[in-house]
Amino acid sequence: MSDQDPVLLVTGGSRGIGASVCRMAAKAGWRVVVNYASNAGAAEAVVDEIRKAGGVAAAVQGDVGSEAGIASIFAGVDRAFGRLDGLVNNAGVVDVKARVDEMSVERLERMFRINVIGSIRCAAEAVRRMSTKHGGQGGVIVNVSSVASLLGSANQYVDYAASKGAIDTFTVGLAQEVVREGIRVNAVRPGVIDTDIHASGGLPDRARDLSSVIPLQRPGTADEVAGAILYLLSPSASYVTGALLNVSGGRGAP
């Protein structure tokens, strides 16, 4: 690979969908920045796997839920590669199952700080580096939303669904804002995907338990979502911007 190969930042790239995106992007010729908040070992494992396969990758620490963390992430990108061509806003959180009238202000503030403000701020930093208005050469942003934005997630985590609804609207608006500056902006909306994010919300068997309500009768895999993200990152999607792509096995379809 050379210094001319494009650079991709994947927030939350050390596990699940993010790690799958990192691996696939490296195989597709991207130089990859694997962002992590706290699990350095997991991020370094992804980096090692990419390097052993002949790719180029670097791990960068930073929590998207804080301004200092975001500054650290983008300083790491600048230091490692000196350019940015793509961003996957993948980092996000869920919380334990609860009704809205049981949710604390602290829970809501954490949810929106990480899932919404963090994604918007990371996109802003990416635009400063990629937009032709700022002297960049263009690029692409893919936001990871959720089919929960269509379904509402009643009696589980309406706050998470609402945060992803905000990401849908943000995707459409940002796409229009930077479309003439060489930047495409799209989102994927995963459905029930078999990753460990469900365990972090206290429901480790959720993906399998919901199989019967998914038209395809099974949960999706991280690689299936990553494949859709790689399409949106690729030249094959050169005429696609402002799009929201469901990767949900048919769940949430109109």
Count of CB atoms situated within 10 Å of the CB of 239: 7
With 0-12 / 13-18 / 19 or more C-beta atoms within 10 angstroms meaning exposed / middle / buried, residue 101 is exposed
**Would you please indicate which residues are annotated as catalytic (active-site) residues?**
160
